[in-house]
Structure 1
């Protein structure tokens, strides 16, 4: 391997309106199965009631949007917002197939979106709030979409050191390429690991009564029942691990995938899949 191969990669923002949104759609079932228990925990905490009007921020393929629609019917409604046109279209088709008539979708950047039916009663987001370039401005905009006294419920990743599903995979990547150091508070999955920083953003946006509980559990990497080989294929094709390795050549990718397979084999539980530790903050606040 040459010195050039070992140079740190430039940190690139995740293009959720394009490449990342399409990757999520291509691997929708695997991604959703991996984070479904967290979504269920956040839905239980949010405890939506019939008649609530809700925004589902970063709605992805629409699974949580459809679940919320079932909780707030018959007169409550849900607006799913996502920046990816591919995911928004898929979510619309999925909601129609499910016969959910109290759902609409908007393809937009939530940091600047205006919604004609605002203000809403509630805002919900399962991992859709950590990627704003200017989070202070974004949360000010989100605050303006809620009625006074409305509530926001967020699921955000806790510190990387407590998310072994990510740390151990990145350890494999570091055996093959030099990974740039993480930039604290930069947009990305772990932007809000620091709860003090998140508190500053929520307060700056006009939110009060911030409450946080920790969720800890095992993540089925690659989806429920995925074999170590399937999980390694998923990590290489759809996650940040593969992104960092993608232009390093077939030999590097093949070696890294084998290491990932070996790693996942140590965490494989028959009938459940590759089960790795994760930690999430479940956050609520009042507008």
Structure 2
């Protein structure tokens, strides 16, 4: 297997194609990363009355959980650049009779018509900024002085078999450029020294880190090898890369992906592959 994520997976268009892909497989995406979100929520330990901004909220699952923790006297506001995800999250909140609210905007430049927040939360929503120091400085302006931030970011690709195994198959069928370190994308903050530089440059301090390590169900809990393959090809950038090579390449890669996922399938659990993330806290 190769040891780095492809450059083709960097800089996704979350307001467009990637947002549509996420929405189309929302339950499967969220099922994959729900345990990491739960660990970050436990680390954040929100209390009644706190005002919390959920950065890169996606379909709103974590925002709804935060709203329940802070209660009606607090506030949970989800912020995401993808309009289709914000619309889905808003419908979800209405169906759940939740007090969670959602705003569609680019956190790198947005000015929210909101009082300053006590806390910031982000489950894999902070790694895609083209100018991360400037973006985090803008986010800091939305927070009260001393506000705590809690982020989940992916650790190095070599510690995330869910990515490495997929890319091993992809690279057997198509040449993929080597990733550019620190480029915007899922693994932008794999290097904690770089993340510390970004946060410090934006005015945050006191960074602490806890490692999360576990097994991740590709395609969501209970997915079969075939379902996990369909999920990857339809929803992840790897699927787009393969589709661009034509039907014969795509068919061969599909067969190899399904065979690989079958080796990692556990009855009653799904396709389980190792994952590692950093749970990071700091203060404004």
Range class of TM-score, shorter chain: over 0.9
Any conservation in 1 of the 2:10–2:185 contact (CA below 8 Å)? Answer: no
Q: Which runs of 5+ in 2 are unaligned?
A: 1-5
Once the two structures are superposed, the pairs formed by residues 184-263 of structure 1 within 5 Å of their partners are 184-263=181-260
CA distance in 1, matches of 2:9, 2:231: 21
CA distance in 2, matches of 1:246, 1:137: 35
CA distance in 2, matches of 1:257, 1:213: 36
Any conservation in 1 of the 2:54–2:77 contact (CA below 8 Å)? Answer: yes
Normalised by the size of structure 2, how large is the TM-score? Answer: 0.96
- Let me know the Cα RMSD of the aligned residues: 1.2
| Ranges of 4+ aligned residues in structure 1 off by more than 6 Å | 8-12
Identify the residue that residue 37 of structure 1 maps to in structure 2: 35
Q: 1:171 to 1:146 in 2, by over 3 A?
A: same
Partner of 1:226, secondary structure, is coil
Structure 1 residue 67 and structure 2 residue 65: aligned? yes
Aligned to 1:136, which of 123, 133, 137?
133
Q: 1:115 to 1:201 in 2, by over 3 A?
A: same
Partner of 1:43, secondary structure, is helix
Per-residue CA distance 1:185-244 (angstroms, 9 max, x = gap): 000000000000000000011111100010000000001100001001111111121021
CA distance in 1, matches of 2:197, 2:216: 29
CA distance in 2, matches of 1:9, 1:184: 9
CA distance in 2, matches of 1:9, 1:121: 36
Quote the offset at 1:9 in angstroms: 8.4
Q: 1:10 to 1:279 in 2, by over 3 A?
A: closer
Quote the offset at 1:246 in angstroms: 1.5
Structure 1 residue 167 and structure 2 residue 164: aligned? yes
Identify the residue that residue 15 of structure 2 maps to in structure 1: 17
Once the two structures are superposed, the pairs formed by residues 52-63 of structure 1 within 5 Å of their partners are 52-63=50-61
Q: Which runs of 5+ in 1 are unaligned?
A: 1-7
Normalised by the size of structure 1, how large is the TM-score? Answer: 0.95
